[in-house]
Amino acid sequence: MTEVTSAAAARGPLAMEATGLNKDFRLGRGQKLHAVRDVSLSLYQGAVVALVGESGSGKSTVAKLLAGQEHLTSGSVLLNGEPVDVSTRRAFRRYKSQVQLVFQDPFASLNPAHTVRYHLERPVRLHQHRSSGAEVNKEVEALLEQVRLIPAAAFADKYPHELSGGQRQRVSFARALAARPNVLLADEPVSMLDVSIRLEMLALLDDLRKRFQLAMLYITHDIASARYFADEILVMYAGRIVERGPAEDLTQQPAHPYTQLLVASAPDPDNLGHGLRGLRRSTTAASGPAAAGCPFNPRCPFADDRCREENPPPQLVSPQRSAACWNLDLAAANVSDHAEERQA
């Protein structure tokens, strides 16, 4: 195993450490779906780690594993150095008061029959063990102010349908914060929102991260937002992490052929009026990941016989970067030099 120094480590102490996570789903008739394979990641207080990948790559499953909502097939998760215990209701509740999830769809994650106040009161009572009505009320209003739903008293009595998409997502951030967590797992927190609002929401998350020294996992399919928001980016493909590194280095000099394809596919406003012409088409895009060898080999321009037979382990690209590819000398010929230049 090659050890990479996480770019997020500079921000604060280690909060959560996941090692060798595996998750299989049984499909029946003895078939298994390997949703997550050998995923290791570390979250540090006050730092954002982004998990980037296409739909079906297993990134949401990783979030569920870290949140204790799915059983691990194998692997371990440590929270503040302690192994995670979610075996009983009480232990699970204790765990949840430290690790919270924010979901993608603010229309589905709030109960339409209850007010904003109800959504926030419950976690305040359960996780902060406050019982007096006045105390709870004060805490609810403080939470709403933290997510900038002002005046808080007015928002507390609204129902979800009275709020815009952005406001609803603020409520779900407030609900996650109500537990006073150390770790926030945000699964596509802005992808359902309008473009003009996304940035504001990411700015809010960034503010909350700083204020509460949250260790954050930001799951997204939008690698451009990860460039701006995250310290470290992990790229997932077919259940595996194929590349990891500091956000700026990884997006500007992607090493793994899949990351290169991902970056090349993002809309480039500076490539004006080309109407997407002249792009080398990946004709096999429709084909899924390979069963044997490197999962990306059917789509990879650098694939050779070794790639079709053996799955590559992560290889060091620079002290802070690794990529799982046999042919890095071809795929990422100049990457490490540039990374060093940038650091200099």
Q: Which residues bind another protein (CB under 8 A)?
A: 54-55, 164-167, 194-200, 202-203, 206, 221-225, 227-229, 248, 251, 261-277, 279, 281-283, 285-286
* Cβ atoms of residues 119 and 111 within 8 Å: yes
Of 95 and 229, the one with the shorter C-beta distance to another protein is: 229
Of 28 and 267, the one with the shorter C-beta distance to another protein is: 267
CB of 339 to another protein, least distance (A): 16
- Strands of 188-320, DSSP E: 215-220, 232-237, 240-246, 315-318
Q: What are the phi and psi torsion angles at 35 (to 5°)? A: -75, -40
CB of 267 to another protein, least distance (A): 4
How far apart CA 5 and CA 328 sit, in angstroms, is: 19
How far apart CA 139 and CA 124 sit, in angstroms, is: 7
How far apart CA 323 and CA 90 sit, in angstroms, is: 40
Of 17 and 206, the one with the shorter C-beta distance to another protein is: 206
CB of 158 to another protein, least distance (A): 14
Question: CA gyration radius for the chain?
Answer: 21
CB of 225 to another protein, least distance (A): 5
Of 127 and 198, the one with the shorter C-beta distance to another protein is: 198
* Cβ atoms of residues 47 and 12 within 8 Å: yes
CB of 254 to another protein, least distance (A): 10
Of 157 and 194, the one with the shorter C-beta distance to another protein is: 194
Of 100 and 169, the one with the shorter C-beta distance to another protein is: 169
How far apart CA 281 and CA 47 sit, in angstroms, is: 37
- The residues, any chain, with a CB within 8 Å of residue 238's CB and separated by 6 or more, are 37, 57, 58, 289, 295, 296
Of 70 and 200, the one with the shorter C-beta distance to another protein is: 200
Enter the tokens of residue 273: 């009026």
Coil, helix or strand at residue 15 = strand
* Cβ atoms of residues 193 and 169 within 8 Å: yes
Enter the tokens of residue 118: 């109800």
Coil, helix or strand at residue 308 = helix
Question: Tokens 């959560």 map to which residue?
Answer: 16
CB of 321 to another protein, least distance (A): 17
CA dist 15 to 99, 182, 249, Å? 10, 7, 24
How far apart CA 97 and CA 135 sit, in angstroms, is: 18
Of 6 and 167, the one with the shorter C-beta distance to another protein is: 167
CB of 337 to another protein, least distance (A): 19
Helix (H) or strand (E) segment spanning residue 61: helix 59-66
Of 40 and 259, the one with the shorter C-beta distance to another protein is: 259
CB of 256 to another protein, least distance (A): 13
* Cβ atoms of residues 227 and 248 within 8 Å: yes
CB of 15 to another protein, least distance (A): 21
